[in-house]
Structure 1
Amino acid sequence: MEDIEDLLAGGGGAGVPPGFRLPVAGAVGVNPKQKKEKITHTIPKASLSIPGTQTIYMKTFGCSHNQSDSEYMGGQLSAFGYVLSDDPDEADLWLINTCTVKSPSQSAMNTLITKCRSAKKPLVVAGCVPQGSRDLKELEGVSIVGVQQIDRVVEVVEETLKGHEVRLLTRRTLPALDLPKVRKNKFVEILPINVGCLGACTYCKTKHARGHLGSYTVESLMGRVRAVIADGVKEIWLSSEDTGAYGRDIGVNLPILLNAIVAVLPSDGSTMLRIGMTNPPYILEHLKEIAHVLCHPCVYSFLHVPVQSGSDSILTAMKREYTVSEFRTVVDTLIELVPGMQIATDIICGFPGETDEDFARTVDLIREYKFAQVHISQFYPRPGTLAARMKKVPSTVVKKRSRELTTVFESFVPYVGMEGKVERIWITEFATDGVHLVGHTKGYIQVLVIGPETMLGLSPMAKITSVGRWSVFGEVIEVLNQANAVERGVDQFSHCSSLDSSCSKEQRACEMTSCCGQVQEVEKKVSTPKYEAKLNLVGWVLRKRKSNSRIMEKGSAMEFEGNQNKAQNCLLEWSTVDKGLLGGVLVSLLTILALSLYLGTRSF
């Protein structure tokens, strides 16, 4: 079956609302540009009852961008009455959203397709596999939704349920961001800011599927952010194939977008922003600006920056467009400028041409930085990529190197020293053990706590009780609401978005700690000698008097009501410090007066 695209009379499909139910004759057919005989594949038919009454089983493979696409497709199907189910047996149709990054993911897709056919269920395949490899044998007779056609999934599902094969793969515009959405986690919004990338990595199949860079406008993304905040979302994940490349096709850049988003985040820190994966070449140009945003109290101090190899020769073979030295610059700068900065990275073991020396450099790099998160992958040649034609490293060597690097990585204990610390955490989900709740610190360190389900979506203070290899354990000591979050000084640091890059590391660290609700650091900052030296004597006395009066006013209400005259006397009492200061001022004035009289007498 040829691709079926824009089949309304006159071609083009422009102006068709997302999910518009096209007539059968208009929705199914052959691309008019192809002068081939029409071929019809018969798919086992589900019940031909009213559209929108069937049950859909959805399975998603791959990255957060894929997850977001599935949530959008699920939202549209739900809006048209379809029921989403996690049980494939009770479903009338299966919808599989695929990933083409690694061979195992595609193998899992093939297994699922085989099961679907054995169960004689209608099938729709979406995602990167059909988009990047449309002629796969496994996809014969299967309806397909392309990565930029997710806003037409309802059409594809309805026609597939009627026994037709539909393929929508070609489009030049991005799907709208305001489509209905069913989130896997109602507290987390995965927001795609662009699709595709500017790179040409020799091993990457995703570029074949997602294509060249295409960015959403700042205005459309801002609109989505405002909408999801109003909807109760507590975490916003910016997602794309390369976050750092955002906006280069439309004349803006990532710092412009980030500053626009943080400006509308709630000042009480109830909704956090997580910046997605970015490759080194594009973040290098904006390191200080990105570090500045990562210091903001409503932005996780966390970034995923893949390095892939510690060898420049391998990075060149991969066409990664940066050197190990440049990667180090990114990491070192962020760690220096952002208090509590956490960085995750990726490594590919056994890339074609990788020698023992190349691999040793990679091991040394990981040992040096002791990253808390490292995603280690064995090289898998992807069909159609340049690397697939390169001379391969023996599979036994690849597996050995993968095991060795994993052992090195797991020898680190990154969270030692956190015991006893009090951190503000953001809780968004249950742990897989079904007992703990999962929260994250501002550095996006996973904290497991025990608490009621009602704590989901909240941002409490937690004391770290113990640490593990992959996460830490804590106990909730105080649940913050908007009122006491503001009282703790969270909103006082909304000026973080305008901090001068020349601020000292100590100043930023102080402000960051305070943003997390620990106002003790704020008080220390105010009482430093440098600050006190700037105050004049009279101003200090007035502040002291005002402070004493405020303390007195907060005394026992019953005591003040019992003896109002006594309360007034208390407010007028002079402390020893006050008396000493006043005496000093009077002595100084008398001395000056005496000197003036003496000098005046001598002159006369």
Structure 2
Amino acid sequence: MARYHIETYGCTSNRGESRQIEQALRDGGHHPADGPESADVAILNTCTVVEKTERNMLRRAAELDEETPADLVITGCMALAQGEEFRSADLDADVLHWDDVPQHVLNGECPTVTPDTEPVLDGVVGILPIARGCMSDCSYCITKQATGRIESPPVEENLEKARALVHAGAKEIRITGQDTGVYGWDRNQGESLLPELLERICTEIDGEFRVRIGMANPKGIHGVREELADLFATHDELYSFLHAPVQSGSDDVLADMRRQHCVEEYVEVVETFDEYLDYWTLSTDFIVGFPTEDDRDFQQTMALLRETRPEKINVTRFSKRPGTDAADMKGLGGTVKKERSKAMSELKMDVVAEAYEAMVESDETREVLLVEDGTDESLVGYDGAYRQVVIADAEERGLELGEFVECEITSHNTVYAFGEPVN
């Protein structure tokens, strides 16, 4: 399991966010390190009260970047309000929203941020775990030992849970699971029941809401890719968003990872969604520095990133999980992994910025569902493709969480956009 180091600066609210991040990591089987030098990931939760504080945050980020051989994640108020300060400081770090930190840290392993399969209502967001376990046997992942093979409740049961969340006030339902694409394989002779569940949620539940599909491995969704893409194109209730972690652009490395899919299958999924949808978001994950990854493998991964151009990308340096087969492999040096991670992260920022710049340049307005508090007077929402949009003066305008707002996209901050309500 991964060892994490987390540092928190600022107010009680920031400390609360860190507690939630830490709880999610513990639910995923991770545990605290003795310090940044022995961590697999270091997390800096920042404050931005005054200029002196900002200088201290930049200094501490640089220190952590030097102190830890691990991934560095920067979150918190300064990361959200002034993320470019960190990006321009030549730091080997990912700048993320609080809510995105657990998923990023758990990258490469089945997500277990929800410890059971009971739905949770958090504000206007309903979290619906549709199954427990997965059908994979990845050589680097220890989560499978805790969760086992897929156990899928009936479609009717998950449908009723979704209906209860909407009736309780959920405006966004986040469907989660270790691998949502293989939901129902244990009940339906290896055929996914995810399309049936999604269609029934969209057609049988009254109310105005949106649905986001959680992580689905390429192998699990490859066989139902056309059916899923058609559902996204047909039902406005579904965010046109797909999180399909490819992990590598090399078939040789994927085989060593025991990922079950090949690069071609991942590309076919992407091409199918491109065929059905004019505007959608592809999210994927890459593990950099797997023990058997050579320079050619890494260049193939970089080429795949350039080819498919995902709008949301998680990049994580490989770290050994005790008890996994990959832990016994002779690893690459930390310097090699760090250099490859930096190169991929730089390319990632170019690709993501291009996607958000296109939103600014488009003449189209976007309907945004507000679901999260931001900093100061801002609220955070998502458009139909689950692109993050911040309305800076939302509370001053009298806007509230759960509202749908038509917005003009006026600018972006590389990984999220700023919107101006048109009415």
Does 2:49 match 1:107?
no
Q: 1:175 to 1:451 in 2, by over 3 A?
A: closer
Q: Which residue of 1 aligns with 2:400?
A: 455
* Partner Cα distance (1:193, 1:58) in 2: 27
Aligned counterpart in structure 2 of residue 279 of structure 1, from 213, 217, 221: 217
* Partner Cα distance (2:309, 2:262) in 1: 19
Post-superposition offset of 1:61: 4.4
Post-superposition offset of 1:106: 2.3
Aligned counterpart in structure 2 of residue 434 of structure 1, from 376, 381, 384: 376
Count of residues in Structure 1 that have an aligned counterpart in Structure 2: 319
Aligned counterpart in structure 1 of residue 135 of structure 2, from 194, 198, 222: 198
Q: Which residue of 1 aligns with 2:291?
A: 352
Partner secondary structure for residue 403 of structure 2: coil
Post-superposition offset of 1:474: 1.2
Would the aligned equivalents of 1:59 and 1:97 in 2 still touch at CA under 8 Å?
A: no
Post-superposition offset of 1:97: 4.0
Q: Structure 2: state its 5+ residue gaps.
A: 1-15, 37-114
Q: 1:193 to 1:395 in 2, by over 3 A?
A: same
> How far does the alpha carbon of each residue in 1:115-141 deviate from its partner, in whole angstroms, 9 at most, with x for none?
xxxxxxxxxxxxxxxxxxxxxxxxxxx
Partner secondary structure for residue 357 of structure 2: coil
Q: Which residue of 2 aligns with 1:467?
A: 412
Structure 2 matches for 1:533-544, cutoff 5 A? none
**Code of the aligned partner of 2:210:** M
248-257 or 311-320: bigger deviation: 248-257
Q: Which residue of 2 aligns with 1:229?
A: 166
Structure 2 matches for 1:37-436, cutoff 5 A? 59-61=19-21, 97-100=26-29, 105-107=30-32, 177=118, 181=120, 183=121, 185-251=122-188, 253-266=193-206, 270-295=208-233, 296-412=235-351, 413-419=354-360, 420-431=363-374, 433-436=375-378
Q: 1:57 to 1:379 in 2, by over 3 A?
A: closer
Post-superposition offset of 1:99: 2.2
* Partner Cα distance (1:327, 1:260) in 2: 27
Partner secondary structure for residue 422 of structure 2: strand
* Partner Cα distance (1:226, 1:300) in 2: 18
Post-superposition offset of 1:108: 5.1
Structure 2 matches for 1:439-588, cutoff 5 A? 439-449=381-391, 450-452=393-395, 454-478=399-423
Q: TM-score, normalised by structure 2?
A: 0.71
Q: Structure 1: state its 5+ residue gaps.
A: 1-55, 68-95, 112-173, 479-604
> How far does the alpha carbon of each residue in 1:308-338 deviate from its partner, in whole angstroms, 9 at most, with x for none?
0000000000001111111100111111112
Partner secondary structure for residue 224 of structure 2: helix
> How far does the alpha carbon of each residue in 1:475-525 deviate from its partner, in whole angstroms, 9 at most, with x for none?
1123xxxxxxxxxxxxxxxxxxxxxxxxxxxxxxxxxxxxxxxxxxxxxxx
* Partner Cα distance (2:166, 2:412) in 1: 32
Would the aligned equivalents of 1:427 and 1:459 in 2 still touch at CA under 8 Å?
A: yes
* Partner Cα distance (1:417, 1:381) in 2: 38
* Partner Cα distance (2:18, 2:339) in 1: 36
**Code of the aligned partner of 1:458:** E
Q: TM-score, normalised by structure 1?
A: 0.50
> How far does the alpha carbon of each residue in 1:391-443 deviate from its partner, in whole angstroms, 9 at most, with x for none?
11111111111011111111232122323431111001112x33321111101
**Code of the aligned partner of 1:250:** R
Comparing both structures, which one devotes a greater share of its residues to strand?
A: 2
**Code of the aligned partner of 2:405:** P
Partner secondary structure for residue 163 of structure 2: helix
Partner secondary structure for residue 355 of structure 2: coil
> How far does the alpha carbon of each residue in 1:272-314 deviate from its partner, in whole angstroms, 9 at most, with x for none?
0001110011111111111112121110000100010000000
Q: 1:215 to 1:447 in 2, by over 3 A?
A: same
* Partner Cα distance (1:197, 1:344) in 2: 19
307-316 or 391-400: bigger deviation: 391-400
Post-superposition offset of 1:254: 1.2
Would the aligned equivalents of 1:98 and 1:109 in 2 still touch at CA under 8 Å?
A: no
Q: Which residue of 1 aligns with 2:9?
A: none
Q: 1:57 to 1:378 in 2, by over 3 A?
A: closer
* Partner Cα distance (1:362, 1:176) in 2: 34
* Partner Cα distance (2:387, 2:276) in 1: 18
* Partner Cα distance (1:108, 1:294) in 2: 42
Partner secondary structure for residue 236 of structure 1: strand
Post-superposition offset of 1:205: 1.0
Partner secondary structure for residue 416 of structure 1: helix
Partner secondary structure for residue 232 of structure 1: coil
Post-superposition offset of 1:110: 9.6
Q: 1:414 to 1:107 in 2, by over 3 A?
A: same
Would the aligned equivalents of 1:382 and 1:388 in 2 still touch at CA under 8 Å?
A: yes
Post-superposition offset of 1:346: 0.3
Would the aligned equivalents of 2:184 and 2:194 in 1 still touch at CA under 8 Å?
A: yes
